[in-house]
Amino acid sequence: MNLSKQPRLLILIIIVLLVSNVSTIVTINYLQKHSHVVVDDGKTGGSDQDNMPRGLFFKEKLQLSDEQHELFKGFHQNYNRTTRGITMELNEKRQQMVDELGEEMSDTLVLNELAVKIGELHQALKEYTIGYYLNMKEHCTAEQRVVLHKIFNDLLNKDGNVQLPAQGGQHRWGQKRREAKQLEKH
């Protein structure tokens, strides 16, 4: 390999990995923070959907039966249990990569091995996320499947990055998009 091309290739690999890792972290954080089932104790300040506890999001949006709701809770608990260790290992490997990049003489073999391992862990997370989604989908009615697909689709922006809803379940970016469309009509 031409030595003058090696730094550019390494930089490109690092950029791709960083973008991939950030999207994974955002996805995991979203699922962990927004999919927990919380019993509504009536202290949410009203029935306004914007004040809805995050854990009731799927139940309300999909109009889940009690049986479906229990299944979804189980899927989420299994997903969290399984992915927690992977997420911790991913964070460790990312830190090792940053540490190696900070060395006076970074070892490209070590960096490449870390890149491969991070890619494998990222793939495993995506596979578990796919399984989580398919488990939910399998237990939905046809109408609920359409809504579930829309929910997951709305979580991604046009670049494929996850957009987190604002506190309370509002999608600020969705609101801004709707406002922009309204302005275009005028």
How far is residue 184's CA from residue 180's CA, in Å, rounded to a whole number?
Answer: 6
- The pLDDT of residue 34 is 58
pLDDT at 78: 86
| CA dist 95 → 100, 120, 121 (Å) | 8, 16, 14
Ranges of residues in the chain whose predicted pLDDT is under 50: 36-55, 162, 164-173
pLDDT at 140: 92
Torsion angles phi and psi, residue 46, rounded to 5: 125, -175
DSSP state of 186: -
Question: How many C-beta neighbours within 10 Å does residue 144 have?
Answer: 19
∠ at Cα 172 (149, 60), nearest 5°? 45
Which structure tokens are listed for 21? 């890792």
Q: Contact at 8 Å (CB) between 62 and 144?
A: yes
Do residues 125 and 133 lie in contact, with contact meaning Cβ atoms separated by under 8 Å? no
Q: Are 162 and 23 in contact (CB under 8 A)?
A: yes
Q: Tell me the per-residue pLDDT of 84-133, one tens digit each, with 9 for 90 and over.
A: 999 999 999 999 999 999 999 999 999 999 999 999 999 998 898 888 88
Calpha distance 141→68 (Å, rounded): 10
Structure tokens at 126: 């995506």
- In this structure, the dihedral spanned by the alpha carbons of residues 25, 26, 29 and 34, taken in order and rounded to 10 degrees, is -160
